[in-house]
Chain A
Amino acid sequence: MTQPVSPPRDGTGKVPQVPLPAWRAAIGRADVRTLSLLGVLAVLVLIGGITKPDEFLDTRNLQLVLTQGSVIGVVTVGMTFVITSGGIDLSVGAIVALASVWATTVATQDYGFLGILFTAMIVGVGCGLVNGLLIAYGGMVPFIATLAMLASARGLALQITDGRTQIVSVESVLDLGERDAYVLGVPPLVIVFAIVTVIGWLVLNRTTFGRRTVAVGGNAEAARLAGIDVRRQRLYLYLLSGLCCGIAAFLLIILSGSGQNTNGNLYELDAIAAAIIGGTLLSGGRGTITGSVLGVLIFTTITNIFALNNLQSDVQQIAKGAIIVAAVLVQRRTASTT
């Protein structure tokens, strides 16, 4: 287990500083990582701009990429916290599915906007609570507990819908996905994503809660000796991940105008991949919200460029895998020189 290496913060830097070349010291460790991700993103933008200048470099396309990244983006913010604490949440996709079908079941009974929103969030938090209790107080391994949640939440979602697509007709919800709802050209989904990101960044980097999360992930025993209630912290983290899934489910309902038990398919893998690419350590102890969000944007940009160039799904999958490997290799190189 590595030492809890948090992004360098003024005042809290307990990490013994190795002398660095001046240019490296100037930008700092975390920033090198961020810069390399920005570099990957820049290359992608360049590729998109060269191959499809008219379609790619278009305001609508920018709105599209950001909108499509919003749902998985919100999930990834929650996932980043969980992974930073040394845990994992495999149930995020299933929770999104369950929250979306439960909320849209409510919608068919005319509970309206708030009914849908609150049901989605309550279902998300409820699943997170079960995960958290099993892991923190039941002593279950996160991998197993959330795997069990994955199975049962998907099963429950299937039972609720009978495999049917639940179409939402609540106008106030649907309107949020329309062009009229854009604020200064920014879709409401993207605004929610941005707010979740900013709050996530502040909580992880500027609060006691965030510092405890990193400490638990770095060395749980040391954290416990330092007086942190590790179990309660873990419970809160899975609650947080569940809440993010609930919000994401609501965004997905706005986006697709429906709830379906197949929603959120493979979100767990996408969110984990984005977080890892972003520089969050799978073993815990280090997490970066900025990196995760960049990871999500890299993925959605890739998908976008592929679709614009009419590449088939097999090519898309191969290339996606290659880019994950490339991004992580680039990152390891930049990181290992520190």
Chain B
Amino acid sequence: MPEPTPFAHRLTSRRGMLFGAAVSAGTLLVGCTSNESKDEEPAANDRPAADDKPGKPVTIGFAGPQADHGWLNAINDNAKSRAKKYSDVTLEITEGSNDTAQQIGQIETLINKKVDVLVVLPADGKALTQVGLKAMRAGIPVVNLDRIFNTPQAYRCWVGGDNYGMGLNAGHYIGEKLKGKSDARVIELAGLDNLELTKQRTQGFDDALKNYPNIKKVARQAAEFTVESGQAKMAQLLQAQPKFDALWNHDDDQGVGALRAIDQAGRDDFLMVGGAGALAAFQAIKQDSGVLKATVLYPPTMAASAIDLARALGQGKGVGGLAEFEIPASITLYSAVVDKTNVDQYMSTGFK
């Protein structure tokens, strides 16, 4: 499960930035990251930045949680395949684990092996802060992926997704679609309620909807990020709300179940926006035969970017497309809205 746990100041600053200027901030961020990857694939590039040209050999240690969810699986795949692209990168990957003690042990092993850079997607960011600090003190820079450590001292660079932005962009998309419709009714199928990220997604959604006084959120139910819970909760929501105009579902995996419930209830009188960016969701959006019209990204490509950043760190380079000599301290990915108009562009990033 994508589960960044940013601390308050980071959250508020990010919130302010995104809420104030969602579009411009987003364009800036997406500009950075997409430039980076685009500029890197074709090798010809004489900027003092991370590029495809083989440089100093770098050994990157990668430690992630157990891939018990499609998104996490995609994270591992992205990291592995990006590392393979570089002839100068050796990837030391540990067995994924959701057990804090076990993951700490794995990272310590990587530190003892003296890898050049560490990429860590902690099962629990707060619990793994200490081992991040340990690595940094041992002179191994850490790229913290998605679920954030408790202190910036524990990582050199954080790269991750934007849960608040997911909600915000989903809300804006729905708001624009329902513009001009008076008394529009919207419902929300949230993810696991005891995760911080679920609250952030809901908060972003609610904040976006405040811009559209004609829209009212009439119901919200939390599912558990699973197909089974998505089906069960959606079936109930459909029964509870005989008439509504739009649905935002936090997660494409539980969305498989939600779509099944919608199909079983024979409903097609509303539009649905998903979250995360699963391949099945992209395909449904492309087909355009059902209620699912868009999904808001939480891109697993962040793992590939983390490898890029780790390599740049190991070779002492900056990032292509930026003027700085060093890589940034943190990069928040943009939660782009993928709908029929741009789905082809994103299809290859869809995870199963």
Contact = CB atoms under 8 A, between A and B. Distances in A.
B228 interface: yes
A255 interface: yes
The SS class assigned to the B binding surface is: helix
A165 B193 contact: no
B43 to A, nearest CB: 33
A167 B256 contact: yes
Given A60-B239, A64-B235, A179 B226 contact: no
Interface stretch (B67-75, B105-113, B118-126, B155-163): B67-75
B221 A314 contact: no
B38 interface: no
B82 interface: no
A80 interface: no
Interface string A166-179: 01000000000111
Contact of A55 (B66, B221, B242): B242
Interface string A214-257: 00000000000000000000000000000000000000100111
Given A68-B235, A303-B236, A308-B240, A162 B226 contact: no
A258 B257 contact: yes
Interface residues of B, number: 40
B233 A307 contact: yes
Contacts of A52: 240
Interface string A249-282: 0001001111011111100000000000000000
A124 to B, nearest CB: 17
B240 A307 contact: yes
Contacts of A178: 263-264
B277 to A, nearest CB: 14
Contact of A314 (B193, B233, B256, B264): B193
A12 interface: no
Interface of A: 52, 54-55, 58, 60-61, 64, 67-68, 158, 162-165, 167, 177-179, 252, 255-258, 260-265, 303-304, 307-310, 312-314
21 contacts: A60-B239, A61-B239, A158-B66, A162-B67, A163-B68, A163-B72, A163-B73, A179-B266, A255-B260, A257-B227, A260-B226, A260-B227, A263-B228, A265-B229, A303-B232, A307-B233, A308-B236, A310-B221, A312-B221, A313-B221, A313-B222
